[in-house]
Structure 1
Amino acid sequence: MAADARSPLDTAADGHVPVMMGEVLESLAPRAGGLYVDGTFGGGGYTRAILAAAHCGVRAIDRDPDAVARGVALADALAGHEGERRLEILQGPFGTLSDLLHDAGVSAVDGIVFDLGVSSFQLDEAERGFSFRADGPLDMRMGRDGPSAADVVNHVSEAELADIFYHYGEERKARRVASAIVAARGESPITTTAQLAAIIRRVVPGDRSGIDPATRSFQGLRIHVNDELAQIEQAIAQSLDLLAPGGRLVVVSFHSLEDRIIKRAMQGATGRVPGPSRHAPGAMTSASARPEFSLLTSRAVRPTQDEARRNPRSRSARLRALERHAPAARPVVPAPEYRS
């Protein structure tokens, strides 16, 4: 069913700009009667596009209560517009994908899409504490539960802070940043994004890239607070199990840590791993095994120059996709003839 200008499926309805929308739809290839998962609902851009592309169903997942509220409103509006419910919202981390779908009565799906990282809504709402562009409470929790970013910077040891900034933020001055934070919190608690950004800028010099010196440390802190990398690993592994024959997995990531996990998981699923030694036990078996999946993208797909110009947040995006093979038809073996 095509979406008209008044349809809830209008992807420009709320001003949210989904990244690489055309490439995502081409890779996912929604079809009528299919069931799809938007594992990171956020602003609902992908969900709207999938539902508009084919008369199919979507189960959308998000752990952010604000995103869930937006999703419920969209599901209700869509049901009122079309007279049926094609969209269901499931609340929880996407790393619990299997459990969430199982509880919703779903055991297999025709496609899954993830848009990793922080949504535009979270970045634009100062009170969520994800960005230093506007001062706000130092929170960063996507699900609004568990320790906040303020809890971490005020109570975690200097060594652990340095590890967070180095491993998750890829900040080369991680020890210097951690030392500055510990010194500052000794005078007074660090409670706002502006406070933390100012501390980091004092010890991390700017460079010719034009990237704010606080960017990498903020990324590392956010990833730690939300356990993002473990969530991604769990979600991809579960997605591979959930895809029906012919089903597709599409993932858009935004930095090398995410993309590395996606690339490794997809290469493993499609058998693109270094071959074993021919002298190794079982080498012949593993070498002849036919993988269940095939890559749809031989390398990461990047946004077009036009999109990167129109939507600066898309510049670092990378898309990877794979497909589960349909089962091969088994040859018919004639029954043996017996003579008396």
Structure 2
Amino acid sequence: MSHISVLLHETVDALLADRNTGIYIDGTFGRGGHTRLLLSKLDEKACVYAFDKDPQALAVGAELEQQDSRFKIIHASFAEMQKELNLRGIASVDGVMADLGVSSPQLDQAERGFSFMHDGPLDMRMDNSQGITAAQWLVDIEEEKLANYIFQYGEERYSRRIAKAIKHAGYIETTGQLAEIVKVAHPKWEKNKHAATRTFQGIRIAINKELEDIEIFLPQAVDILKPNARLAVISFHSLEDRLIKQFIQKESTLAEDTGWGLPQKQEDTRRLKKIARIRASDVEVKANPRSRSAWLRVAEKIEK
């Protein structure tokens, strides 16, 4: 299955807000769907910088660089966005977007080791040019820590018994082997879901530091936005969406005065205002089932 960009037009239209020039950031280039549409709506003076950790995504980005001089691809996590832009002399931008989580090519290619649907080497690294594989990570990690990751990041209630079974198995070479170990250890799983769905999610998020990177990325994105510029982020599961929701809520709410005695003048620390929360349409979900769980949240930098 080729990669279909989720909430494509909704994201780009919300990001631009009727503008057609400036400097824009795509924090998760993937296969470039959002970036290509963005470039098609920008004038010749505009520029788009995209980030990705995946070597295959970088190869696609390198081809786009040759085709469009307004575009630059950067091999780094969006958590390093501010540092990388500073190196290039960029202090502020006109919009930042990100499409979180794992991409369709990563899931569909057995050799990437993300999915139990295609048996392959147990890898799971978004940047498979560095770091250790999931197979080695599972050998190295303590059972209690593994159980905590599966519980927290996979929201798996049977994490303890699953972690115990994984550690008891020793070195696990393939995704199929891991899926079978989890299936045997799992007493009861959700209808229409594989027993290993939550465990795979928990392990993948932990290995790639996905939630940690989001927590680092969001404040940086607001720091570099110009006044009235926008942040648009697509999430695919509750853990991601909760982080984005709470961040925007905090940045767009006037802090309460918790002091005692006479009222004190509050400093307005708000940096954002909420613009939209958008779900994929029924038409899109029918055409691309992976968009079913997607949420797009949009916020705008307040001019002070």
The two structures have a TM-score, normalised by structure 1, of 0.84
Q: Tell me the CA shift for residue 77 of structure 1.
A: 2.1
Q: Does 1:304 align with 2:278?
A: no
SS at structure 2 position matched to 1:191: coil
Question: Does structure 2 conserve the Cα–Cα contact (< 8 Å) formed by 1:137 and 1:193?
Answer: yes
Aligned with residue 276 of structure 1, among 232, 235, 257:
257
Q: Tell me the CA shift for residue 159 of structure 1.
A: 0.8
Question: Does structure 2 conserve the Cα–Cα contact (< 8 Å) formed by 1:19 and 1:317?
Answer: yes
Query: What is the CA–CA distance in structure 1 between the aligned matches of 2:197 and 2:173, rounded to whole Å?
Result: 17
Match of 1:150 in 2: 135
Match of 2:246 in 1: 264
Q: Tell me the CA shift for residue 16 of structure 1.
A: 2.7
More contact order relative to length (CA 8 Å, sep ≥ 6): 2
TM-superposition CA deviations, 1:232-265 (whole Å, max 9, x none)? 0100010010001111000001111111111111
- Which residues in structure 2 correspond to 1:106-185 (within 5 Å)? 106-144=90-128, 145-185=130-170
Task: Name the amino acid aligned to 1:71.
Answer: G
CA pair 276-139 structure 1, distance change in 2 beyond 3 A: same
Q: Does 1:232 align with 2:214?
A: yes
SS at structure 2 position matched to 1:222: helix
CA pair 280-270 structure 1, distance change in 2 beyond 3 A: farther
CA pair 272-202 structure 1, distance change in 2 beyond 3 A: farther
CA pair 238-280 structure 1, distance change in 2 beyond 3 A: farther
- Which residues in structure 2 correspond to 1:1-340 (within 5 Å)? 15-29=2-16, 31-55=19-43, 56-78=46-68, 85-144=69-128, 145-185=130-170, 189-205=171-187, 207=189, 209-271=191-253, 275-277=256-258, 279=260, 284-286=264-266, 289=268, 291-297=270-276, 300-327=277-304
- State which structure, 1 or 2, has the greater radius of gyration over its C-alpha atoms: 1
Query: What is the CA–CA distance in structure 2 between the aligned matches of 1:280 and 1:158, rounded to whole Å?
Result: 51
- Please, which runs of 5 or more residues in structure 2 have no aligned partner? none
Count the aligned residue pairs. Answer: 300
TM-superposition CA deviations, 1:14-36 (whole Å, max 9, x none)? 94310011220221026222110
Match of 1:4 in 2: none
Question: Does structure 1 conserve the Cα–Cα contact (< 8 Å) formed by 2:257 and 2:264?
Answer: no
Match of 1:332 in 2: none
Q: Tell me the CA shift for residue 146 of structure 1.
A: 1.6
SS at structure 1 position matched to 2:298: strand
Task: Name the amino acid aligned to 1:33.
Answer: T
Query: What is the CA–CA distance in structure 2 between the aligned matches of 1:159 and 1:208, rounded to whole Å?
Result: 24
Question: Does structure 2 conserve the Cα–Cα contact (< 8 Å) formed by 1:293 and 1:324?
Answer: yes
Q: Percent identity?
A: 42
Query: What is the CA–CA distance in structure 2 between the aligned matches of 1:280 and 1:211, rounded to whole Å?
Result: 55
TM-superposition CA deviations, 1:201-253 (whole Å, max 9, x none)? 11224545301111100000001101111100100010010001111000001
CA pair 246-120 structure 1, distance change in 2 beyond 3 A: same
Task: Name the amino acid aligned to 1:77.
Answer: Q
- Please, which runs of 5 or more residues in structure 1 have no aligned partner? 1-13, 79-84, 328-340
Question: Does structure 2 conserve the Cα–Cα contact (< 8 Å) formed by 1:206 and 1:212?
Answer: no
Query: What is the CA–CA distance in structure 1 between the aligned matches of 2:113 and 2:220, rounded to whole Å?
Result: 30
SS at structure 1 position matched to 2:66: helix
Query: What is the CA–CA distance in structure 2 between the aligned matches of 1:235 and 1:246, rounded to whole Å?
Result: 19
Question: Does structure 1 conserve the Cα–Cα contact (< 8 Å) formed by 2:2 and 2:104?
Answer: no
CA pair 278-252 structure 1, distance change in 2 beyond 3 A: same
TM-superposition CA deviations, 1:22-58 (whole Å, max 9, x none)? 2202210262221100000001011001001222321
Question: Does structure 2 conserve the Cα–Cα contact (< 8 Å) formed by 1:58 and 1:88?
Answer: yes
SS at structure 2 position matched to 1:248: strand
CA pair 59-22 structure 1, distance change in 2 beyond 3 A: same
Q: What RMSD in Å do the two structures reach over aligned CA positions?
A: 1.8
